[in-house]
Structure 1
Amino acid sequence: MTSNLLRSVPTLLLAAVPLLPLPASAAVASHTEVRRDPVVFVHGWNSDGSTWQSMAKRFRADGWPADHLDQWTYDTTRSNATTAARLADEIDRVLNLTGASRVDIVTHSMGALSSRYYLKNLGGSSKVDAWVSLGGPNHGTATAHWCGGASCVEMRPGSDFLNNLNSGDETPGSPRYATWGSPCDIVISPKNSVALSGALNTTTACLGHSELHADPTVYEQVRTHVR
């Protein structure tokens, strides 16, 4: 009898301790915490990562951690295939830094080409969840005849680079592809160059080429696509 009573003492003591609720903030965090993919921004020709300031600021305001927003800068005079290899290294760096398994890629203009090369030819499709092209010369643009260097030659309609990139499936693998093109974008000619077979293709309001990554409506649509 005594031994049974002694064994029951710990249970009795535990039963007498009131169960305190978790702090409200902890309870809410446990239910609302969202793990977001890092976003790697890929700018266009003759530009750099600072072109994404407006869009990155909006992503931060909507809950993306600062270390999940990579405004990458690269040498735009190099071949897009060379840039794609550098992009592969950059995405691996971001994945290691954040512990994420996949990234989202948001591109402007020529940035679409190196990132598509990465997805199609360098095994990138397994590391990318969503891909975005804002005013990308996906089938070439006549304005590239006005600039020189390897990357400009590759942007010209009918280039070997574009013919190879667009052969077969234009949206390979599992990433969710989306494009945005403006009817008032005078940099992309012809206008239908942006859209890709197999992607979600959106025509924006009358926006200039450099307005696509700063426009709030385009941002909201991009955010919805990548989340």
Structure 2
Amino acid sequence: MRRFVRTVLVAALVVAASLVAPSPAHAATRNPVIFVHGLSSSASTWNTWIGKFKADGYTSSELHTWSYDWKQSNATTATQLKTKVQEVLAATGAAKVDLVAHSMGALSSRWYLKYGGGTSAVDDFVSVAGVNHGTDVAVFCAFYTSCKEMVLGSSFLKTLNSGDETPGSVDYATLWSTCDALINPDESAKLDGAVNTSVGCKGHTDMNDDSGNYTKVRDFIA
């Protein structure tokens, strides 16, 4: 009798659990995140934030960094980014990714979104100290193609920013500093149609190390 009662209780608990627990098909999922570095940088620039994402429960399979030749045209990098996105989608089985870009990385990311079909593969895009409308500082490194494209009024920027600056159904956000010595004017980092957030006075290279900025990015793409 005791064994029968125990069997009935176990069966009842299994049935109750099946009623309240979501099936795998309906379980909440997160988009994998791809991080895009900027000028004179590499994938390692994201190490601090990768650690923070992992501390907040993200797995390595959800976090993807990559390095590219930052001296080449941002349009070329955009083509390589498209390949990276396709690789991540294939490896994870996800329908879309989130893009987080720092500095010049915002240009290749946006070129991919606007001219590379990226709006169908990207859910959220965050530009952290992005050189979205150029900077007068770029004249000092304009011997590199990528840097020449960041000069205020360049043909690259005119093409990138013509028409809709935030195309598609992608959710766009920017974080910009009020005292970024490498982006002048500071408002160059903002985008029409995006959630533009001033984070106060923070240095350019600190923007994607800062804990407060990390929290803003994490919450936006969640």
Note whether the superposition's TM-score is higher than 0.5.
yes
- Residue in 2 that maps onto 1:210: 205
- Please give the per-residue CA displacement for 1:136-174, whole angstroms capped at 9, x wherever unaligned: 110001111111211011000100000000000000001
Q: Which runs of 5+ in 2 are unaligned?
A: none
1:175 aligns with 2:165: no
Q: Secondary structure at the match of 2:218?
A: helix
1:165 aligns with 2:160: yes
- Residue in 2 that maps onto 1:11: none
1:48 aligns with 2:42: yes
Q: Which runs of 5+ in 1 are unaligned?
A: 1-13
Question: Structure 1 CA distance, aligned partners of 2:21 and 2:106?
Answer: 36
Question: Structure 2 CA distance, aligned partners of 1:87 and 1:18?
Answer: 56
Aligned residues: 212
Question: Structure 1 CA distance, aligned partners of 2:186 and 2:59?
Answer: 35
1:69 aligns with 2:59: no
- Residue in 2 that maps onto 1:119: 113
Do the aligned partners of residues 34 and 59 (structure 1) sit closer, same or farther apart at CA in structure 2, a change above 3 Å counting? farther
Q: 1:39 is matched with which residue: 21, 30, 33?
A: 33
TM-score by length of 2: 0.90
RMSD: 2.3
Question: Structure 1 CA distance, aligned partners of 2:118 and 2:102?
Answer: 18
Q: Secondary structure at the match of 1:114?
A: helix
- Please give the per-residue CA displacement for 1:29-75, whole angstroms capped at 9, x wherever unaligned: 85996411000000000100000001111111112111111111111
Q: Displacement, 1:214?
A: 1.0
The amino acid of 2:162's aligned partner reads: S
Question: Structure 2 CA distance, aligned partners of 1:167 and 1:34?
Answer: 37
Q: Displacement, 1:182?
A: 0.5
Question: Structure 2 CA distance, aligned partners of 1:216 and 1:36?
Answer: 21
1:108 aligns with 2:102: yes
Do the aligned partners of residues 178 and 159 (structure 1) sit closer, same or farther apart at CA in structure 2, a change above 3 Å counting? same
